[in-house]
Structure 1
Amino acid sequence: MDTRENLKIVSMDVKDIRFPTSLHAHGSDAMHTDPDYSCAYVTIKTIRGDTANGLTFTCGKGTEIVVTAIKSLEPLVVGQTAVDIFKDFASFWRSLTSESQIRWIGPEKGVVHLAVAAIINTLWDLWGKLLNKPVWLLLADMDPEHLVSLIDFRYISDVITKNEAIDMLKQAAEGKEERMKYLLEKGYPAYTTQVGWLGYTKETLVELCQKYLNEGYTFFKLKVGRDINDDIKRLETVRNIIGWENKLAVDANQVWDVDQAIEWMKKLERFKLTWIEEPTSPDDILGHATISKALHPLKIGVATGEMCCNRVMFKQFLQAEAIQYCQIDSARIGGVNEILSVYLMAHKFGVKVCPHAGGVGLCEMVQHLQMWDFLCLSGTQEDRVIEYVDQQHDQFEHPVVIENAKYMSPRAAGYNTTLKAEAIKQFEYPTGTEWEAMFAKGLFHDPRKKGY
């Protein structure tokens, strides 16, 4: 049997994995008050026995819907060969997003696009493992023509063409070797949101601020938007600990109307905030633009992207000058291929990319993308950071490595998205041993019983 047939995909399994983070208010913000950090977890296998894993992040309830969407796309994946997929990855990506009946319930957004992201992320893990490279290096080793061939430019060619993208990457090539040496030695700067969950007590806030300050962090982010007086008190507490030389940002997680966002942020101006994240509906491009214009005199930037559903919306955010910080999410839009297009557009518009991370597996994945950007596109780490949240990393076989508040470049082949077998045994929902124990204690309601 030739290599091509050996690499035929023979199965695609998906599991609902959930962690009970709501018990301690981890991940809580003004909109998502009780999230249980979760993921739809995909496993792909080839005839030869190669195994790869990928995921898309969720907040608990509804993960079962994403799992179903992934299963609906299974016939488009099983039976394909990895060789054929990677030979024309952009066409395969379009085949997943353009199945004529499934596309109707997107298109290229919502649950079906989360499903696409999980599958595409799994395929990148497979590609990296087949070539024995971490995904960031797999990307960095590609010539510009090859990398650009991975991207579906439909709907964005009015802003950036394939030839423009190739030229941009060629122009950025100078100094790549020096940047590689720097990355391998120094890593990539992180900022922390772990201090700032809205459900935390003041004592926890103080303890965590001091902890992360001692670990070398110079950039902190707090959740805001529930109560202005509480926001002021919490920001005062944080500034008293981290001082004024360190950076501080806030995140409203979509709770405000446009005018409300502007007025709320004016009351927080004195805290010298780097950005306000998701100040209003993630779909309101012109609303973000209005907020951005109003906050410009206050020297507060606008950041968004974790809930931006596809490259088209990112295109319009950039065209409208609605954001100063572009926050791609490694599991929100259609996986690595589509995310590359956003990096290219942001670079053309001169907007910094500071990825969203923190949910299950997001830190593990997004580090690869930002490191590629540093090596091959932006060529700088200035005023750029990757979000870091210290949750669920111990559940992965190859978790992120943070040293002195910096992401160290991953060395394991693939996309760092393989969960430990024990994690699956414990946290698969609802049959995992940890969930069975919590149902027995009455901490959560068993969905297999009436009343769910």
Structure 2
Amino acid sequence: MNNKSIVIKKAWAKDRRFELKDGAGSDAVHTTPIYAYAVCILETDSALEGSGLAFTLGQGNEIVCSAINHLVKHIEGKEINELMSDFGTVYKEMADDPNFRWLGPHKGIVQLALAAIVNACYDLWAKSTRLPLWKLLIDLSPEALVNTLDFSYYEEVLTKREAVSLLNDQKEGLEARQSIIHSGYPGYDTSIGWFNYDDQKISDNILKAMDNGFTAMKLKVGSKDPERDIRRAELVRKIAGDGATIMFDANQQWNLPQAISICEKLIELNPYWIEEPTHPDDVQAHVTIAKQVDVKLALGEHVPNKIMFKNFIQSGCLSFNQVDAVRVGGVSEFILISLLSRKYGIPVVPHVGDMGQIHQHLVLFNHITVGHPALLLEHIPHLQEYFKFPVQIKDAKYTTPQEPGMSSDLLD
């Protein structure tokens, strides 16, 4: 690695928003989304610049940017390699900033701001070593990796020592798992069935996805009329075929009785999972659904922090962990949650508020270093034109990125 000294001289936020067209991005709860990023920019004493993202739906993005501009005091003036050598300590200082913590703790506006700052630090770190993020992470020793994490409130379920041991245990088979770098990481098409799409558009999109090699795809459900959900779900299964991997996503729309009722109908179509069937904070409701309906549940898009993930992971109701590095406290918290999920044998299939730009790196790390199965990574194409190095999909697989950093740089 290149250990040249690179100092963060100044950091600030950018407010970037992107209009979507023709119902793209819509779901049962978020019917008129504007995809937006609160971007943290790290200016250094070199030509390198760090860029970190937090995802929002437009309105309120400026508030996240304001919080970024307050929290960056914790990293300004720091040399990037020294900062990342004990980043877990600095992370905790930011997350527990004595004034901003009152606004959470560890959720909402401040947590999103934290995500952008943390992601910018990892991006700059990778650029400083001239490596893509996935390569930087898999090359780190277990000890160096866990030093970037904050284990507070995890002491009873996952200690630093246990995390190091878990990573060391995965070294067996690591070389074989690296083959995915060349073969590509499997994707699924999450854009065939946005909530506001009519049936004809869904039908057309399914055929396009299949022509592009996708055998896994997701439909938005959560209509006020359950029969609309059933009709559209049956349409997807009929066109995609019995061998296709199909997921249904309610985006938290249903209360518990509704969730049980509609899930019992949807399971007849053999879904791979049903996603966010009810309120994302209601652990007990998800436990009840998992007990009463023979269905695998996926959630994490709106789970804001490691504590909520700890509760869901321990509850036994979670079949697929969809932790998102632009929703929780950035790459650092993502990795910690991923390690706990690996301990409990729950696969990580991230939600991609970053459009897969960052997560294409993280799933490679998850598979190669942490030993998670290489299942699927969500693919959302709507913002590709705005990124300097957009994700590349070939035969429904993510092509491994080679540029230094985490692929989060937006075009001006």
The normalised TM-score by structure 1 is 0.88
Q: Does 1:341 align with 2:336?
A: yes
Rounded to whole Å, the distance in 1 between the matches of 2:142 and 2:384 is 33
One-letter identity of the residue aligned with 1:188: Y
Rounded to whole Å, the distance in 1 between the matches of 2:96 and 2:240 is 49
Q: Deviations over 1:198-217 (max 9, x none)?
A: 10122211111000011111
Could you say what secondary structure the match of 2:356 adopts? helix
Paired position in structure 2 for 1:330: 325
Per-residue deviation at 1:379? 5.1
Paired position in structure 1 for 2:383: 392
Q: Deviations over 1:332-366 (max 9, x none)?
A: 11111111111111111111111111x4x341011
The partner residue of 1:210 within 204, 207, 210 is 207
Could you say what secondary structure the match of 2:181 adopts? helix
Paired position in structure 1 for 2:216: 219
Could you say what secondary structure the match of 2:243 adopts? coil
Rounded to whole Å, the distance in 2 between the matches of 1:149 and 1:289 is 33
One-letter identity of the residue aligned with 1:156: Y
The partner residue of 2:227 within 229, 241, 246 is 229
Structure 1 segments (4+ residues) deviating >4 Å:
none
Could you say what the CA RMSD is over the residues aligned between the two structures, in angstroms? 1.3
2:7–2:79 contact (8 Å) kept in structure 1: yes
Q: Deviations over 1:358-397 (max 9, x none)?
A: x4x341011111110110112532xx21111111112111
Rounded to whole Å, the distance in 1 between the matches of 2:288 and 2:247 is 19
1:247–1:274 contact (8 Å) kept in structure 2: yes
Per-residue deviation at 1:178? 2.3
Per-residue deviation at 1:13? 2.3
Paired position in structure 2 for 1:275: 273
Rounded to whole Å, the distance in 2 between the matches of 1:135 and 1:33 is 34
1:328–1:355 contact (8 Å) kept in structure 2: yes
Paired position in structure 1 for 2:359: 366
Paired position in structure 1 for 2:259: 261
The partner residue of 2:38 within 30, 37, 40 is 40
One-letter identity of the residue aligned with 2:381: D
Per-residue deviation at 1:9? 1.4
Structure showing greater Rg = 1
Name stretches of at least 5 consecutive residues in structure 2 with no aligned partner: none
Could you say what secondary structure the match of 1:157 adopts? coil
Q: Deviations over 1:266-295 (max 9, x none)?
A: 122221111111111111111111111112
2:249–2:277 contact (8 Å) kept in structure 1: yes
One-letter identity of the residue aligned with 1:141: D
One-letter identity of the residue aligned with 2:182: E
Paired position in structure 1 for 2:197: 200
1:329–1:362 contact (8 Å) kept in structure 2: no
Rounded to whole Å, the distance in 1 between the matches of 2:227 and 2:261 is 13
Alignment of 1:81-230 (within 5 A): 81-180=79-178, 182-226=179-223, 227-230=225-228
Rounded to whole Å, the distance in 2 between the matches of 1:365 and 1:249 is 22
1:179–1:379 contact (8 Å) kept in structure 2: no
2:342–2:372 contact (8 Å) kept in structure 1: no
Paired position in structure 2 for 1:312: 307
Could you say what secondary structure the match of 1:353 adopts? coil
Could you say what secondary structure the match of 2:357 adopts? helix
Could you say what secondary structure the match of 1:166 adopts? helix
1:172–1:379 contact (8 Å) kept in structure 2: no
One-letter identity of the residue aligned with 1:138: L
One-letter identity of the residue aligned with 1:174: E
Name stretches of at least 5 consecutive residues in structure 1 with no aligned partner: 422-452
Could you say what secondary structure the match of 1:268 adopts? helix
Rounded to whole Å, the distance in 1 between the matches of 2:267 and 2:69 is 48
Rounded to whole Å, the distance in 2 between the matches of 1:91 and 1:362 is 29
One-letter identity of the residue aligned with 2:76: V
One-letter identity of the residue aligned with 1:400: V
Paired position in structure 1 for 2:78: 80
2:259–2:277 contact (8 Å) kept in structure 1: yes
Task: Using the aligned pairs only, state the percent identity.
Answer: 38
One-letter identity of the residue aligned with 2:337: V
Rounded to whole Å, the distance in 1 between the matches of 2:165 and 2:36 is 39
Paired position in structure 2 for 1:409: 400
2:298–2:319 contact (8 Å) kept in structure 1: yes
Per-residue deviation at 1:398? 0.8
2:347–2:373 contact (8 Å) kept in structure 1: no
